[in-house]
Amino acid sequence: MIKSWVLAVLLFVVGSVVPYPPAGDGTILRSFERPLTQFSAGHRGVDLQADPGELVISPVSGEVWFSGYVVDRPVITIATKTILLTIEPVYSNLVKGDLVKRSDVIGVVDIGGDCAYRCIHVGVRIKGTRHYLDPIPYLLNLPKLLPIKP
């Protein structure tokens, strides 16, 4: 039998709305598409509708792992014990090592990257790997199952 939280995650597709998103109204513009290999095509996160200037709220508690520019966009990454959660484009005054709690303001939606002027991209990967996870359970604050390392 499928657990109810798994079914809830399966129902979040393009056009769905994530309640209490980091920014914007939570409308999913593009869903997570797991790549077949670490170098394959895919969409390693989820794009949520958001406008430049909106406040960005942390969906997890953790430590700022990175805050700065990657190519043409500002990025912030928060580390927990097991994952790295990245949101872009987000301008932030936070610096590496700052501690944040779930629901803290971590910056504002900026412009740049694939989401320029219309969304934020949220990505999650297992710390120390290139294994990307669907960010929806982290945005919904649901239990997460991590793969066992070989």
Tell me what the mean pLDDT of segment 20-42 comes to: 86
* Inside any domain, residue 126: yes
Domain assignment of residue 150, yes or no: no
Q: Which residue has the higher pLDDT, 2 or 16?
A: 16
The number of domains in the chain is: 1
Domain enclosing residue 71, as ranges: 4-139
pLDDT of residue 1: 40
Q: Is cis: bond before 89, omega within 30 of 0?
A: yes
66 located within any domain = yes
In a domain, 91, yes or no: yes
| Distance from C-alpha of 65 to C-alpha of 78, rounded to nearest angstrom | 5
Task: State pLDDT tens for residues 38-48.
Answer: 788 878 899 99
pLDDT band at 94 (very low <50, low <70, confident <90, very high): very high
Domain for residue 118, yes or no? yes
pLDDT digits (tens, 9 = 90+) for 100-144: 999 999 999 999 888 777 899 999 999 999 899 999 988 987 555
pLDDT at 134: 92
pLDDT at 2 over 50: no
Question: Is residue 43 one of the residues assigned to a domain?
Answer: yes
In a domain, 65, yes or no: yes
CATH no. for residue 8?
2.70.70.10
Pairwise CA distance, residues 110 & 72, whole Å: 11
**Domain assignment of residue 147, yes or no:** no
Whether residue 94 contacts residue 102, with contact meaning beta carbons closer than 8 Å, is answered with: no
pLDDT at res. 115: 78
Tell me how many degrees the CA angle 37-27-16 measures, rounded to the nearest 5.
75
Q: Is the pTM of this model over 0.85?
A: no
